[in-house]
Amino acid sequence: MENQYIKVVKGLRFVVWFALILLLICSGSLVAKSSEKKHLTDSTALQDKVQDLFKALKPGDKMPESFWDMPMELDDFKGKKSNFKFGDMKGRIIIFDFWATTCKSCIENIPHMEQIQGKYPDELAIILVNSKRNRDTPGRINATMKRYKEQYKYDIGLFTILDDTLLTTLFPHNAIPSTAWINQEGIYMGNTMSNEVNEKNLESILKTGKADMAVTQIYRNFENRNDVPPLRDTAGQKFISEITGYNPYYLPTYPNVIHKNGHTSYQMVNNSFSFMLYEAYKKEVEGLAWTDYVFEPAIIDDIKYKLLSGDATDNTFSYQLYVRDSINQFQAEEHFREAFSKYFSLKVERKKSEIPIYIVSYNEHFDKIKTKGEMPVIQPYPGSDPVQYRNVSVQMFLANLFYYLDRPLVFDNTNSMHIDLTLPPNFGQKSMQDRLSFLEQQGIRLTPVTMPKEYVFISQKK
């Protein structure tokens, strides 16, 4: 079977030894014990290869030469298998995308992976990996893929490795989605969250072999999201209230007050700017959406970007409160509010007055963007590339559209229609009239009016 992502090396031959190794790997029977190694082969050289391969790698390690000689069996999700070597991908950026049938977000991110692969057909190889520890059976995988095909008419185009133990050991991680990166020089760059798989990072790696990515392998709070050790040592401290940036060792945690030994702790770890804004100013923003926000001109672009790009690590933050006393929930929230306002230098107010807005309506062109029902794709992050929405509710599209507009939106939020719409490259750099004209051609009319409205006003703290 022809593989569109991996170049087949003509005359590829597998020797019996390598086939035996693959069989042992897939069966899960290969372990790093000397008593069992003797059953693999009498070849000392082959034993050394296996031993090298089963050492967990650290970011910056070069892939062992023996890795490239290992056979790789790929499944096309239709029951057909193809045999290659890992070395067939050598010289390209390699991404191993770990997934499981129980991970909905893993599967729903595969269309994005396919699009990225399509943009870099010669420079990139993306391989899906289903680990043996997932305990996914062929029946469960087939049933899951059948549901996606029936619901979205979607067949996965990428290939997967099934029942893996090798890559799971080489690239340690304890949560999925997780993607392991190898650059074109054969250097293991680390494991990241799947949102790091984007053109910006790929272009950087192609040019320099490096990228500014948040590398995470083992999350310390995987077993218990709420049991997070203090982000800063509290020894000798009476009071800590501080916001910090993204912490790569923790999965997101939500605010919870913990009383222990007469002390009080209150933490939020790795939460989006929009979530923290809501937690800090619940009374001001309650019941209103982004499309109801008005911004001071000096900060409009920065704050809109922070609100929209919630998955970006540079817009993900953590907060720690430690008080050597017992305080209640309300007092803890007040400390957080003060810290948020100081850290971001923002003033957030709820107002009601007559302001310019856009009223949303739909014209005769709207039918052409009604969804075809394919697998959902949401790529809302602004930049120079097209911004894609596929099989997405019109309310979600309008909620994110605020990034490109100069005034709040008013629309019917009961409209459950789903749409397929792609904003052209550099849409945000076009004139406002051109943006409105484009939307009008897609069936979405924005009529500028002035009317009394309740809104959130965000300004720079003086």
Q: Does residue 6 lie in a domain region?
A: no
Q: Does residue 461 lie in a domain region?
A: no
Give the tokens for residue 368.
Answer: 């052409």
- Same domain for 372 and 321? no
Question: Dihedral through CA 367, CA 372, CA 375, CA 376, nearest 10?
Answer: 0
- Number of independent structural domains in the chain: 3
Which of the listed residues 300, 316, 348 is the one where a domain comes to its end? 348
Q: Does residue 128 lie in a domain region?
A: yes
- Same domain for 405 and 387? yes
- Same domain for 362 and 343? no
Q: 403, 305 in Cβ contact below 8 A?
A: yes
- Which CATH number covers residue 106? 3.40.30.10
Tell me how crowded residue 126 is: count the other CB atoms within 10 A of its CB: 21
The per-residue pLDDT for 363 is: 96
- Same domain for 177 and 36? yes
Strand pairing report for 263-272 and 316-323: antiparallel
Taking the C-alpha atoms of residue 122 and residue 72, their distance in angstroms, rounded to an integer, is: 19
The per-residue pLDDT for 15 is: 31
Range of the domain at 249: 239-348
Task: Please name which of 106, 247, 120, 93 lies closest in space to residue 178, comparing C-alpha atoms.
Answer: 106
The SS3 assignment for 76 reads coil
- Same domain for 250 and 365? no
The per-residue pLDDT for 8 is: 36
Q: Does residue 224 lie in a domain region?
A: no
The per-residue pLDDT for 25 is: 37
The per-residue pLDDT for 254 is: 87
Q: Does residue 231 lie in a domain region?
A: no
Q: 442, 365 in Cβ contact below 8 A?
A: yes
Count H helices, E strands: the chain?
Answer: 15, 18
- Same domain for 62 and 121? yes
CB-neighbour burial class of residue 49 (10 A; exposed 0-12, middle 13-18, buried 19+): buried
The SS3 assignment for 435 reads helix
Taking the C-alpha atoms of residue 328 and residue 347, their distance in angstroms, rounded to an integer, is: 25
- Same domain for 66 and 203? yes
Which of the listed residues 315, 348, 381 is the one where a domain comes to its end? 348
The per-residue pLDDT for 443 is: 97
The per-residue pLDDT for 248 is: 87
- Same domain for 278 and 419? no
- Same domain for 77 and 24? yes
Q: 348, 292 in Cβ contact below 8 A?
A: no
Q: Does residue 7 lie in a domain region?
A: no
Q: Does residue 9 lie in a domain region?
A: no
- Same domain for 361 and 342? no
**Using the 8-state DSSP alphabet, how is residue 370 labeled?**
B
Q: Across-strand partners of 447?
A: 359
The per-residue pLDDT for 313 is: 86
Q: Does residue 11 lie in a domain region?
A: no
Phi, psi of 203 (to 5 degrees): -65, -40
- Same domain for 422 and 451? yes
Which of the listed residues 321, 348, 375 is the one where a domain comes to its end? 348
**Long-range Cβ contacts of 434-437 (<8 Å, 24+ apart):** 435/404, 435/405
Q: How many residues does the chain have?
A: 462
- Blockwise average pLDDT, block size 10, the chain, 462 residues: 40 34 37 36 43 79 94 93 96 98 94 94 98 94 94 94 95 95 98 91 96 88 81 93 93 89 93 96 95 95 89 90 96 97 97 97 96 89 78 94 94 91 90 97 98 97 89
Task: Please name which of 67, 120, 115, 112 lies closest in space to residue 93, comparing C-alpha atoms.
Answer: 120
Task: Please name which of 195, 193, 260 lies closest in space to residue 229, comparing C-alpha atoms.
Answer: 260
**Using the 8-state DSSP alphabet, how is residue 187 labeled?**
B
Strand pairing report for 444-460 and 346-362: antiparallel
- Same domain for 436 and 303? no
Strand pairing report for 387-393 and 263-272: unpaired
Question: Dihedral through CA 183, CA 188, CA 192, CA 195, nearest 10?
Answer: 10
The SS3 assignment for 229 reads coil
